[in-house]
Amino acid sequence: MKKISIIVPAYNEEEAIPYFYKEIKKIWEKMAKNDFEVIFINDGSKDQTLSILKEYAKKDKKIKYISFSKNFGKEAAIYAGLKKASGDFITIMDADLQDPPELIPEMYRYIVEENYDMVATRRVNRKGEPPIRSFFARKFYKLINKMSKVEMVDGARDFRFMTRQVVDSILELEEYNRYSKGLFSFIGFETKWISYPNQKRVAGKTKWSFWNLLIYACEAITAFSTVPLVISVLIGLIFCIISFLMIIIIILKTWIYGDPVSGWPSLVCIIFLISGIQLFCIGIIGQYLSKTYLEVKKRPIYIIKEDNIGKD
């Protein structure tokens, strides 16, 4: 009997969890040949998420929970879940039913019958999302795919079904700045992509503000590309060449026409421009340095306050 572990990060999901439980139960009833465990990761929720989880865990042996000491973010929650999962097959899902559980039997079939290592999902549209968010999301994927060797699929979700081998490979990547979509792409393996239309959140509110997404996007770029550093070198080089030419022009002009004292406004503009570019480039270097700093410190990715799984 093969065991399937379902990992569910949950941050302030008291409203969504009962719906999720109902739907996921249907799946394990349908796939009665398999053993199941559902690991909820309470990512420092401020509402009743944890007490609801404890209640379910008391009633149902399949329900496990891990509770963080504070909010560490979805990426940390996914990592913790993967670490604690004991199944032969592992899947990651959102608590808000935006990842349809009905797809699980199909995903399972691809792996068992068609020998894929991993089944990943993407949304074919972004219906129901604010247009400005979709616009920037598209631009982000275009940009990062130009900048990074690791391919990022537009509309890819974290909803994935994978074998133990894939999960073990992911767990070997112990970096602190985690961008799962990139990590899954980095490790390779045969991946089957399936698509479905965007689903509405069943209850509760999204945890991602525009600002959070922007920071997340910058993190993804610095985690998977060093192209911004190259760009800053190029900008520096171009400006060196321009200023060298300008010096020659000014020397020649002074020789030929004498030296009238004029042009200090343009000088001020140039100083502003150059110092702006310098700050920009130092900022880029700073981004990478700060990431390196965090990696070097080797802080834990998450801290568990309590769980019902025990030591691994």
Q: Under the rule (CB under 6 A), what is the footprint of ligand UDP? A: 9-11, 13, 43, 71, 73-74, 77, 94-96, 98, 201, 206-208
**Interface residue with Mg ion, options 96, 99, 158, 307 (CB under 5 A):** 96
**Which partner from the list ligand UDP, Mg ion, none does 43 bind, CB cut-off 5 to 8 Å by kind?**
ligand UDP
**Which partner from the list Mg ion, ligand UDP, none does 71 bind, CB cut-off 5 to 8 Å by kind?**
ligand UDP
307 touches Mg ion by CB under 5 A? no
Angle at which helices 104-114 and 17-30 cross, to 10°: 40
**Which partner from the list ligand UDP, Mg ion, none does 193 bind, CB cut-off 5 to 8 Å by kind?**
none
Closest CA to 138 of 123, 120, 154: 154
98 touches Mg ion by CB under 5 A? yes
Alpha-carbon distance 310 to 312, whole Å? 6
C-beta of 44 vs 87, nearer to Mg ion: 44
Kindly state the smallest distance separating residue 74's Cβ from Mg ion, in Å.
10
Cβ-in-10-Å burial (0-12, 13-18, 19+) of 93 comes to buried
Total residues at interface with Mg ion (CB under 5 A): 4
Sole window of 96-104, 178-186, 230-238, 246-254 interacting with Mg ion (rule: CB under 5 A): 96-104
Give the start-end residues of each E strand in 113-243: 118-123, 156-163, 191-196
CA distances to 114, 148, 174, 214, 298 from 78, in Å: 26, 23, 13, 20, 18
**Which partner from the list Mg ion, ligand UDP, none does 14 bind, CB cut-off 5 to 8 Å by kind?**
none
Residues in the chain: 312
Closest CA to 94 of 117, 74, 108: 74
**Which partner from the list ligand UDP, Mg ion, none does 99 bind, CB cut-off 5 to 8 Å by kind?**
none
The answer to whether the Cα torsion of 119, 120, 124, 125 is positive or negative is positive
Residues that bind Mg ion (CB under 5 A): 94, 96, 98, 201
